[in-house]
Amino acid sequence: MEPRASTPSRRLEALRQLSDAGIPTTVMVAPVIPALNDMEIERILDAAAHAGAKEASYVLLRLPLEVRDLFREWLMANYPDRYRHIFTLIRDMRGGRDYDSQWGARMKGTGPMAWMIGRRFEIACEKLGLNKRRSKLTTDHFARPKRSGQQLSLF
């Protein structure tokens, strides 16, 4: 789906190196696509936890605007036998639509399937010790940049 993205093994190695250097790390499992990759959630979290991740989150597949058509084409070309089933599940998690931009629903979805994916994610995180303590944002090291002169005009 992401042709120029790093391979999973390279991502895990980067996670391991950052974690070994004392940098708090978080893994994002996304996009979670029902009936296509949701069965990999636990395995991804396990690998991430063993590589040193301390936190994890996920996002269900989002299909705004032209992304929907691109995903449809990709799914039809790569998994034509699962096309209808996957879109049925997506609509079940999006209030009968392909996409729901409503705050609180667009990232996690709604309905029984979305709830089940969320619970599986939470249980896996709990078993692996992820999300025990959320990292807090610190601004202690922030320094306002020095002005280098007058701001340029846009016109």
Residue 154 above 90 pLDDT?
no
Q: Residues 58-82: pLDDT tens digits?
A: 999 999 988 999 999 999 999 999 9
Q: What is the mean pLDDT of residues 41-63?
A: 97
Q: What is the mean pLDDT of residues 74-96?
A: 97
142 band by pLDDT with thresholds 50, 70 and 90: confident
User: What does the alpha-carbon distance between residue 108 and residue 98 come to, in Å, rounded to a whole number?
Assistant: 14
| 8 A C-beta contact, residue 99 and residue 25 | no
Q: Residues 106-130: pLDDT tens digits?
A: 999 999 999 999 999 999 999 999 9
Helix (H) or strand (E) holding 119: helix 111-128
* Extents of the domains making up the chain: 8-128
User: What does the alpha-carbon distance between residue 94 and residue 90 come to, in Å, rounded to a whole number?
Assistant: 6
User: What does the alpha-carbon distance between residue 114 and residue 120 come to, in Å, rounded to a whole number?
Assistant: 10
Supply the pLDDT for residue 97.
94
Return the exposure string of 103-130: e unless at least 16 CB atoms fall within 10 Å of the residue's CB, then b: eebeebbbeebbeebeebbeebbeebeb
> CA dihedral in degrees (46, 48, 49, 52; nearest 10)?
160
